[in-house]
Structure 1
Amino acid sequence: MSVPPSGNRTLSRDDGRIRAPLRVACFLPAFNAGETTRGIELCRALVAQSSERQREVTVRLAYSSSSHDYAPQIIASGLEAHRLPLHLDEGIVSGIMAADHKAAELVSNRGTACRFVGAVMDEIIAWRPDLVVCGFVPPVGIAAQILQVPWVVYLPFPAYEPWVRRHLLKDLPDDFDNALTTRAPSPVRRAFTKLLSAAMLSKGFFKQPTFAAAGREHGWRLARPDLFDMLAAPLQLVTDLPAFYRGQDVGPNTRITGPLFSRPPEIDVDLAIREMFSPGPHNRIFVSMGSSGEKPYLLAAVEALAIMRVRAVVIVAPRICSLSEVRQHLTVPPHILLTDAFIPAHQVNAMADAAVIHGGQGTVQTAVGAGTPIVGVGMQVEQCTNLDNVANSGAGIRIPKRQWTPEKICQAVSRVLEVPSYRQGAARLKSEHDSLDGRHEAARAIWDFVDSNAL
C-alpha cells in the first residue's frame, strides 16, 4: 500500500525542471517538551533553507492531544498546526514517559496502539505528504513503512542495534548501583556492563511487541519487528555533539548533526527571575527536570538548595508536580524562586553558576550551550549516558538515582562551584557547541535526502 502524490499543486521551476512544492508532515508527541521543541526547530530550519534549494515547502505539524501538553507552542510556531483525532489520557502518557525508565513497552494496550498507528496512517492518507518527519515515535515509523512514504527520524542517540549494544551503556545502570558494585574494580564493572547491554536488548522497551502487533493488524508485513525496525528510517538524524561519537559505528543511515533544541529569540526574562539572579554574594543555581523528570528528584533538589547559601530558580513542570505540592513538601525559603511558567531556559542558564537538572537531551544541551556546569540525575539509560558524556568531559557530576539525596546534591553542587576545572570543562563543551549549527546541519541533511530521492 502506498500513498499517491498530492494533486492540484502549484509548480515551480528549478534548473529547467518543474518541481512541485514539497509537502512535509511532522508528527509531534505534544506531551513531551523536548521532542516537540526539537521537531518545531527542525521544521523551521527546513523552511528557512527552502530558498537556497529553490523549492517551496509546506510543513504541517500533526500532534495528539493530552491533559498537559505543549500544543500552545506548536500553534505559535508559525507553521500549520493540525491536532489529530487522538487524545492520550494521563495514564497512557505516564506509561509512555516512564517506559524507558522501567525498560517497559511504550504502550501495552493493543487497542491503544492500533488507534495510534491508525490515526497516523489516516493523516498521511488524507494529507498526502511527500515526506514524513518524526522523533522517537514508533507508530509514525510503522505507518510510514506501511504506506511506503519517505521518512526521516530525529533521535537523541543512534537507533542502530550494534551501536546500542556497544556504546549506549557507559557504566552499570543506576538500578545496579549498590555497595558491592560501587566498590567493584573497573574491569569487573565493564564486563557486567557488556553483559547487561546484551540483556537490555531483549527487554520490552527494545522489542515493543504491542506496537509490532498493531502494525501487523494494519498491514505491516515485516517479520518479527522490534524498536530498531520501527525507527529504521532511510535517514536518521542524531541531534547530539559529534565529539561524543568519535570512532563509533553509528550506522549507515545516521548523521550526527549537532544539538537541536528550542532557542527562541532573546526576550525579557521575568523580573522575579532577574531579581533572584542579580549580581550578589551568593551563587545562582538553575533547576529543571524538563517534562520527563520525576517528582521525588525535583523535591530532593529543592530540599538540598533550601539549606544552602545560594539563590535558586526552580522550574516546576506541571507534568511532574504542582507548585502547591512543592510547598506542601517543605517550607520554601525566600532564596528559592519556584515557577511553573514556560521560560527562556537558554537565557536563564547563562545567568546561573550551576544547573541542577535531569538528563534529558534538550535540558542538558541548553546548559552546555550556556557553559554552565551540571549536577544531574538520569531517569533512564539514555539520560544517564547524556550526563556521563558531560561528566567525562569534566563539565559536571552525575549522581545515581539511589544516591540522589539532599546531602549528595549539596556536596555535588558545592564541588562544581568550588573546583575551577568544572567551569573550564563546561567552557570547552560550550566552545564545541558554539562551533556547530545543529539546526542548519539537520535541515541540510533532509534537503540532501529530498534531492537525492527526487521527492
Structure 2
Amino acid sequence: MTASVASVLFCPVTFNLAETTRMIEVARALDPAHRAVFMGYEDDFVHLISEAGFEYHPCSPSWSAQERQRAIDFDQGKAIRSPFTRELVAARVAVERRMIRQHRAAAVVIGSNVTSMISARAEGVPLYYPVPFALTGPQVRQVRRFRFVAGQGPIAGTADRIATAAFRWVYTRAPLAPRALSAVAHANGVAPLRTVASLLEADVNLVTVMPWELDDFALPENYQRVGPIFARLGGEVPALVRTLAAAPEPLIYLGLGSSARRELALAAATQLGTLPINVLAPIRHYLEPGDVVPPNIHVTDLLPAHLLGGLVDAAVLHGGQGTVQTACATGIPFVGMGLQPEQTWNVRVCQRQGNAIAFSPQHVSKPAFLTAVRRVLDDPAYRNAATRVRDQYEREDGAAAAARIIEAALPGRN
C-alpha cells in the first residue's frame, strides 16, 4: 500500500478543549506522508496545536467572549438565541472555502464547526467528523429514554418516554437550525441545514465510543465506530502532583473541561475543601482575580491527565467525553456532573459499567455531593470496575482507526 502526499484540513472549534485535542490526536495518527493543516477562529487552545507541531492558520471573524458563551448555552440547550448571524456564517464559509482551495485539501475533519458542513460540501471535499454517539441523529432516533424525568416508577417512566419522544421530534424533524445556516447553504449551492441533528452529521461520522456504548443501537452506513479519542497533552506530571499523591490524604482530580462555568468550579472546590482530602484542580482558566478556594484545593493550569493513573484516587468531572474517557483509560473512578444531555449520557454509560456515579451539577452545594465523592473513594467496587474498564480501553486506539478511514479515501491511495 502506498500513499502520495495529501493535505487534510482540520477545523476544530478552538475554544473547545475536547474538540481541539481530539483533532490533534487524529492528526498525529495520520501517515507522516500527508500534511495536516489546522484552522480556527478563537485562540483559547491554539497553543496546544502549535505545541503538537502542526501548522495553524488563524481565521476570522471570531466570536467575542459573550458570543462564545452564547454558543455554549445554545449547544447545551440553555438558550434559543444562536450566535450564528448571516453575516458571520457567510464570512466563515468564504474563508473556509478559500482555505480548502489554497491548501488543496483532499479531506476536511471537523469538530462542531458547523460552517464546515457548508464549505466542504460546496467545494466537493469529503467531510469527516470524529463525534461522540450521544445526540447524533441515530442515537436520538433509537434511544428509548433520555431520563429527562427522574424516578423509577411507572409514572416517571411514562412521563420520560413522552419527554423523549417530544425531544426526538424537535431534534430530528423540527426546522430549528439557525436560519442563517440554511440561507448561506442555499447561496453556496448546498442542501440546507434545517434540523438540529443535521448540524452534527458529516459525510462520514467516526463514532468515538466503546463497543458496549452501542449496545441495542444500529449504525447507518455513514457512521463507523472508531473507539475513544482523548487528549494526550505534552509535558510531564508536575512535581506537585507526585507530592500530593505521596501524602496520606486521598487525592481527588477536579476536571471541568472548557464548557463549565466559574460558579460551578467555585462551588465544587468549596465543597471538596471541607473533606480531609487534597484536590488537584486544573480550573485556573475559570477563576478570576480575587477568587479564593480552600487551602487543600491546589489550582493548576491544564495537566497531562492521561498520565495521572495510579496517582489520583478518584475524580469529579463535568461529563465531557474527552474528560470521561481519560478517567476510564487511566482507571480512575469518578463522580460525573453532565452539563447537557450528551454529557449526562456519557456519565450514565459509565455508571452502568460501575466506575462512576452520575450527579446533577445543580446539587453540587448539597450534602449528597460529598456523599457521592466519599462513595467513589471508599467503596472498592468502583475502583474494581474502573480497573476493568481501563483494561478494555487498552485494546482501543480511536485516533489510529479514524486516521486509517480518512487515509483510505485520499487521492493516490492504492
Using structure 2 for the length normalisation, give the TM-score.
Answer: 0.91
Q: Distance in 2 between matches of 1:112 and 1:223?
A: 17
Match of 2:306 in 1: 346
Question: Are residue 304 (structure 1) and residue 274 (structure 2) matched?
Answer: no
Provide the aligned length of Structure 1 versus Structure 2: 413
Change (3 A) 1:187 1:230: closer
Match of 1:144 in 2: 120
Q: Distance in 2 between matches of 1:245 and 1:184?
A: 26
Which residue of 263, 275, 294 corresponds with 1:333?
Answer: 294
Match of 2:210 in 1: 241
Contact 1:97 1:292 in 2 (8 A): yes
- SS of the residue 2:303 aligns to: coil
Q: CA RMSD in A?
A: 2.6
Q: Distance in 1 between matches of 2:21 and 2:97?
A: 23
Which residue of 152, 156, 159 corresponds with 2:132?
Answer: 156
Q: Distance in 2 between matches of 1:200 and 1:208?
A: 14
Q: Distance in 2 between matches of 1:141 and 1:43?
A: 20
Match of 1:58 in 2: 35
Change (3 A) 1:261 1:270: same
Cα offset for 1:146?
1.3
Q: Distance in 2 between matches of 1:231 and 1:170?
A: 18
Which residue of 344, 363, 366 corresponds with 1:384?
Answer: 344
Question: Are residue 207 (structure 1) and residue 173 (structure 2) matched?
Answer: no
Structure 1 unaligned regions, length at least 5: 1-13, 49-55
Question: Are residue 271 (structure 1) and residue 245 (structure 2) matched?
Answer: no
- SS of the residue 1:29 aligns to: coil
Question: Are residue 21 (structure 1) and residue 5 (structure 2) matched?
Answer: yes
Q: Distance in 1 between matches of 2:19 and 2:63?
A: 16
Contact 1:349 1:355 in 2 (8 A): no
> Deviations 1:106-162 (Å, cap 9, x if unpaired)?
534222222222221221132221111111221111111111112211112267524
- SS of the residue 2:30 aligns to: helix
Change (3 A) 1:189 1:250: farther
Match of 1:7 in 2: none
Q: Distance in 1 between matches of 2:6 and 2:316?
A: 42
- SS of the residue 2:118 aligns to: helix
Cα offset for 1:187?
3.2
- SS of the residue 2:15 aligns to: coil
Match of 1:11 in 2: none
Matches within 5 A, 1:183-262: 185=155, 187-201=157-171, 207-217=177-187, 219-222=188-191, 225-262=194-231
Matches within 5 A, 1:285-300: 285-300=252-267
- SS of the residue 1:197 aligns to: helix
Q: Distance in 1 between matches of 2:85 and 2:226?
A: 35
> Deviations 1:150-189 (Å, cap 9, x if unpaired)?
22111122675242222295311xxx56xxx577656325
Q: Quick one: which amino acid aligns to residue 167 of structure 2?
A: S
> Deviations 1:266-309 (Å, cap 9, x if unpaired)?
x43222232222241x2110101011112222222111111111
Q: Quick one: which amino acid aligns to residue 10 of structure 2?
A: C
Contact 1:370 1:430 in 2 (8 A): yes
Change (3 A) 1:155 1:205: farther
- SS of the residue 2:291 aligns to: helix
- SS of the residue 1:65 aligns to: coil
Match of 1:399 in 2: 359
Cα offset for 1:215?
2.1
Contact 1:170 1:388 in 2 (8 A): no
Q: Distance in 1 between matches of 2:53 and 2:145?
A: 39
Cα offset for 1:315?
1.4
Question: Are residue 71 (structure 1) and residue 46 (structure 2) matched?
Answer: yes
Match of 1:85 in 2: 60
Contact 2:130 2:207 in 1 (8 A): yes
Q: Which moved more, 1:38-47 or 1:78-87?
A: 78-87
Cα offset for 1:235?
1.6
Q: Distance in 2 between matches of 1:302 and 1:198?
A: 36
Contact 1:113 1:211 in 2 (8 A): yes
Match of 1:367 in 2: 327
Match of 1:4 in 2: none
Change (3 A) 1:300 1:425: same
Q: Which moved more, 1:267-276 or 1:71-80?
A: 267-276
Change (3 A) 1:150 1:138: same
Structure of larger gyration radius? 1
Question: Are residue 129 (structure 1) and residue 105 (structure 2) matched?
Answer: yes
